[in-house]
């Protein structure tokens, strides 16, 4: 078989603590999947992220199970334990390199993240190497001021010759922090996240 004629697999990477996963994550993942014609989106709950206070993060088993419940209804979504199985601090650059090893160098990876993260990407661990390993897609909300983002994208293109895509996603102003606070205050979280995740939070007493 002529390998050069094989269709190149395109995989989206959706990273985050997912504490908890919510409709904003899911809407963004599906919008990027459709826009870039990705074969699938791989959700990777963070293990021990360097930018978070790990003592304040919900146990990995719960975050993983909630993400599995949320992704279950979309045949193009998968959930990976890749970072959760690491005992050390996990960096995106190492995760991408491991994925390249698992899927092969012919696979194209699209790392999906928020526009705010792109503004800080040059401070990430081994940022230059990371930018060379995968495509980046910056998701913005309607009404987001894109001026700073566009300047950062131009800076990265000029300095590293790497293109960063941007996409406006009609996701609601939902955040994991707000959901956790709502649970603590006894406020409703229905319609902010999948019903299965809401039920899991209630049954396991998470965030109370």
Express each pLDDT in 110-129 by its tens digit. Answer: 999 999 899 999 999 999 99
In this prediction the pTM is 0.92
Residues of the chain scoring pLDDT < 70: 1-6, 52-55, 171
CA proximity to 75, closest of 25, 38, 113: 38
Report pLDDT for 177.
Answer: 94
CATH superfamily membership of 9-172: HUPs (3.40.50.620)
Helix H, strand E, coil C: the string for 65-104 is HHHHHHHCCCCCEEECCCCCCCCCCCCHHHHHHHHHHHHC
Report pLDDT for 2.
Answer: 44
- Count the helix, strand and coil residues of the chain and give each as a percent rounded to the nearest 5: 45, 15, 40
Q: Distance between CA atoms of 159 and 155, rounded to whole angstroms?
A: 6
Report pLDDT for 5.
Answer: 42
Q: Which two structure tokens, joined as six digits, stand for 48?
A: 């021990």
Report pLDDT for 183.
Answer: 97
Long-range contact list for 121-125, CB < 8 A, 24+ apart?
121/152, 121/156, 122/156, 124/91, 124/92, 124/93, 125/50, 125/91, 125/92, 125/93
Report pLDDT for 54.
Answer: 62
Backbone angles phi, psi at 174, to 5 degrees: -105, 140
């Amino acid at each position: 078989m002529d390998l050069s004629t094989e269709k190149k697999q395109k995989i989206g990477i959706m990273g985050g603590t997912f504490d908890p996963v919510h409709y904003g994550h899911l809407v963004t993942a599906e919008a990027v999947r459709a826009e870039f014609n990705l074969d699938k989106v791989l959700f990777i709950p963070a293990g021990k992220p360097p930018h978070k206070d790990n003592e304040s993060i919900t146990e990995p088993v719960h975050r993983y199970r909630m993400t599995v419940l949320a992704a279950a209804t979309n045949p193009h979504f998968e959930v990976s334990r890749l970072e959760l199985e690491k005992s050390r601090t996990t960096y995106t650059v190492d995760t991408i390199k491991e994925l390249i090893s698992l899927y092969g160098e012919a696979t194209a990876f699209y790392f999906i993240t928020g526009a705010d993260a792109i503004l800080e990407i040059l401070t990430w661990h081994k940022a230059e190497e990371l930018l060379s390993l995968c495509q980046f897609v910056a998701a913005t909300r309607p009404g987001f001021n894109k001026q700073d983002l566009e300047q950062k994208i131009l800076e990265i293109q000029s300095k590293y010759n790497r293109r960063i895509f941007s996409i406006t996603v009609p996701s609601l102003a939902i955040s994991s922090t707000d959901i956790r606070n709502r649970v603590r205050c006894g406020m409703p979280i229905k319609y902010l996240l999948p019903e299965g995740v809401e039920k899991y939070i209630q049954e396991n007493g998470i965030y109370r």
